[in-house]
A and B are shown apart, each in its own frame.
Chain A
């Protein structure tokens, strides 16, 4: 009951947040977004044709009218049709979001899990060579550009000049085996670049926890290192870890990963969003921005509930 009340309260207080995010993003889109008028016109257009296209795109309406329409679209989840391809925006999102999720999820989960494990090892052996090696490799992973990693991994794992084990491009996924075939290299690339950031962040959190009294007590009691790390340290470090993971989810789900999708030829929402930004396809942009804002509100609520789950001392009131 407490959780339900809290959720409803948060949903209500989340509305101003959605208004704020959508208002700022809409203002940016309207004032700074590309103007599609001339892209959609033929050669030698008349003033009448220009006016007609601007009218069809809604450019001739006031900001207030356009923003109100946007809120209506958001409320009804009906974002109309793409200005470029003419496809229904909801169809595009329904088709591409699961693909992005399936692409990103393994790398996201494994990158975080491995990051936590390496951070635990590193923190436990703080100051020793193993800590220095893990931190050194983390910095290396953070320093290399994602683009270089993608191209290098394509050459190493997929190209005829490398191991030639996986496809360079595509997403012809009809079974779980196909899925593993297509997702492996993007996942490896994604883990490679995220691992450094994750490990360093989690290590900092865990090192702080390691210095607390209850950990020293457990050590003095002779607790097994694994038990100590997972039961006494990790459990008590979960709040910042959950925060980091949870707030990454909306971006993973909605925005996808542009670079992975572009270079591996994967039909996900990241590439669709990028193309929409470049071409000024406002119906798609409005949908992506609006949905991201809504997901952030939900994430905020789930995040707080998870705090309560991992630390019962926290009150949702």
Chain B
């Protein structure tokens, strides 16, 4: 039979050969971690495998807009400042900077010294392939890049109109040889920044990936592809980057030696000893030889890879797994014995919040030229908010472990008011019906509510839940409709063009200061700005402007809270909820993970135990 087959189908041999050849063509170019670290390894390579639920869009700091991009960037590049590894609430500390900025009495001049003998990782972009020393001019160059239109910066808003001469430099054509009055290198390791008016969040901006220090040689060498060939002075160096799959980094052997002072990092034995954090005291980061970050959106695949034991070492917990891995959710989360035997767990409230906004530019529900209708619209919004059930939203979509709270100041920032009445977050159908009545709204005259969202199963489910609540207060089913957008890009465009009436939204903080969420309701930032609700209250705007130059203080906190109350009283947004992120990692890993604002900074402190548990 075989003979007959071979006689008649000689081409099968060729086909098999072709298959082998093609399969070898699909092999990766040889990337061997041990080889890359040759001469720098004292023992077997320690490789930590992290996972993220999304992929970075770009690794160029000017485009560090997503959580995922920022996460990678702060590991490749240096920022002047960072947040303490273990301290909560977050505390900003020097990173590349020698100390905290020296600020003039009027709050307008910042002087920052950077550490000496810090070098960029070796790369072909440099002369002879050897990374040069990081200098003050690198920060100036890196900030200038944000104001060069050809770079399509997503971070220029941080310094736009704030640094003397910067906007003029942009308007004059972004000539890198021209100096900027308010952005100067006093000497090779001292930067001086002059502001138009005090900007209390400036230091925080220097802890963001946007402000990472970039060598001009690498930008020139890689050109447009600099976004996939990052070159920095951070703890890791990129070895291989597959933009939608993974990033493989190795230890930057030129990274400065800075032994870990645990008490400085906020070590508390009661909280941190259980994770073995005490074992890293005195060691110099980075503590692993290689870091592989897999970008995995598919939760089933991520979970299988994590529980396998020899693949990814870290995973967030998919919503569908939460009930399987916990024996208790309240008052605190407790893992099942089987899980706690294998894994460490840490959970933390996200640095952000989810909210549902009303588009105030829509006369059907927001501002209306007719003062009577304007008042009725407010009643309608307040009624909708009263019908909204945050507890049920939490139970159905966030496993019941998220935190519900009133207003737009989330618990993660110091200005959060734990004593604020939570009445605006509680479902009260009777109250909602009463407000409908007061506004003279009936099932016949209510406007059709259009809930917008990008097409996905979960968005549709969220809408259906919302429609159910609206039905309870008298909205006919056909008067609550879903406006589905094929992609997030389309949804975002419609939102920025103020075309969506009711917007399900989320926000991840850029820095731990309530100003970052309060700006979401500042009138001049209306669409296409970040104020998607297009709220425009003169009193709120005045307070925002007043506080924008104030340093953290009791007085500022009071004003922030006053603004929070204005938003609540005007029923502009249905708020709020911050998700509780659960992280699991293998017991062979020493880590204290985080995401959001400080996400990524912790990776240089991650260590791996050897087989003997040392």
Question: Which A residues are within 8 Å of any B CB, using their own CB?
Answer: 32, 34-45, 49-50, 52-53, 56, 81-82, 84-88, 91-92, 95, 98-103, 105-106, 109, 151, 154-155, 158-161, 164, 167-176, 178-179, 183, 224, 226-227, 230-231, 235, 262-267, 271-272, 275, 278-280
Contacts and interface: CB of A to CB of B under 8 A. Distances in A.
Interface stretch (B219-227, B362-370, B460-468, B562-570): B219-227
Nearest to B28: A173
Contacts of A99: 26
Contacts of A91: 225
A85 B307 contact: no
B486 A32 contact: yes
Contact of B58 (A44, A85, A159): A85
A85 B493 contact: no
Interface stretch (B14-22, B86-94, B109-117): B14-22
Contact of A105 (B1, B23, B486): B23
B304 A42 contact: no
Nearest to B510: A43
Interface string B12-36: 0001000110111111101010000
A158 B304 contact: yes
A262 B60 CA distance: 25
B19 A42 contact: no
Contacts of A227: 4
Given A35-B489, A35-B493, A85-B57, A230 B4 contact: yes
A163 B486 CA distance: 40
Among A52, A91, A102, A176, the one with the most B-chain Cβ atoms within 10 Å of its Cβ is A102
A174 B1 contact: no
Contact of A102 (B26, B157, B490): B26
B244 A179 contact: no
B300 interface: yes
B78 interface: no
A265 B245 contact: yes
B4 A226 contact: yes
A167 B311 contact: yes
A183 B297 contact: no
Among A38, A105, A224, the one with the most B-chain Cβ atoms within 10 Å of its Cβ is A38
Contacts of A45: 157, 528-529
A148 to B, nearest CB: 10
Contacts of A169: 294, 296, 301, 304-305, 311-312
Contacts of A43: 157, 525, 529-530
Contacts of A160: 307-309
Contact of B149 (A52, A105, A159, A168): A52
A170 B311 contact: yes
A219 B139 CA distance: 85
Q: Considering the complex of A and B, which 5 residue pairs feature the smallest CB-CB distances, nearest first? A: A102-B26, A34-B489, A86-B227, A44-B529, A42-B154
Contacts of A279: 57, 487, 489
B488 to A, nearest CB: 8
Secondary structure at the A interface, as helix, strand, loop or mixed, is helix
A82 B225 CA distance: 10
B23 A38 contact: no
Interface string B471-514: 00000000000000011111011001000000000000000000
Nearest to A272: B244
B121 interface: no
B298 interface: yes
A158 to B, nearest CB: 7
Contacts of B156: 42
Given A86-B60, A170-B311, A278-B487, 6 more contacts: A38-B496, A44-B530, A88-B224, A100-B26, A178-B27, A263-B300
Contact of B225 (A38, A81, A173, A280): A81
Contacts of B9: 230
A187 B244 CA distance: 22
11 contacts: A38-B489, A38-B496, A42-B65, A43-B525, A45-B529, A81-B224, A168-B305, A171-B28, A173-B27, A179-B24, A265-B301
A51 B149 CA distance: 11
B372 interface: no
B230 to A, nearest CB: 11
B141 interface: no
B153 interface: yes
B291 to A, nearest CB: 15
Contacts of B175: none
Given A56-B152, A168-B305, A38 B296 contact: no
Nearest to B302: A169
B228 A34 contact: no
B145 to A, nearest CB: 13
A168 B25 contact: no
Contact of A263 (B242, B298, B525): B298
A56 B307 CA distance: 45
A91 B488 CA distance: 26
Contacts of B225: 81, 86-88, 91
Nearest to B57: A84
A98 B26 contact: yes
A226 B25 contact: no
A215 B496 CA distance: 69
Contacts of B243: 82, 84-85, 87, 92, 272
B169 to A, nearest CB: 15
A102 B25 contact: yes
Contacts of A175: 27
Nearest to A57: B152
Contacts of B411: none
Contacts of A52: 149, 152
Contacts of B496: 38
Nearest to A37: B493
Nearest to A50: B528
B486 A34 contact: yes
Contacts of A44: 157, 160, 525, 528-530
B28 A174 contact: yes
A265 B304 contact: no
Given A86-B224, A169-B294, A38 B22 contact: no
A40 B297 CA distance: 21
A170 B66 CA distance: 24
A117 B526 CA distance: 65
A171 to B, nearest CB: 7
B5 interface: yes
A106 B16 CA distance: 9
B227 A85 contact: yes
Interface string B538-572: 00000000000000000000000000000000000
B246 interface: yes
A173 B23 CA distance: 10
A101 B305 contact: no
A38 B493 contact: yes
A36 B490 CA distance: 8
B208 to A, nearest CB: 12
A50 B63 CA distance: 16
A87 B489 contact: no
Nearest to A80: B224
B19 A105 contact: yes
Given A36-B489, A158-B308, A169-B296, A98 B227 contact: no
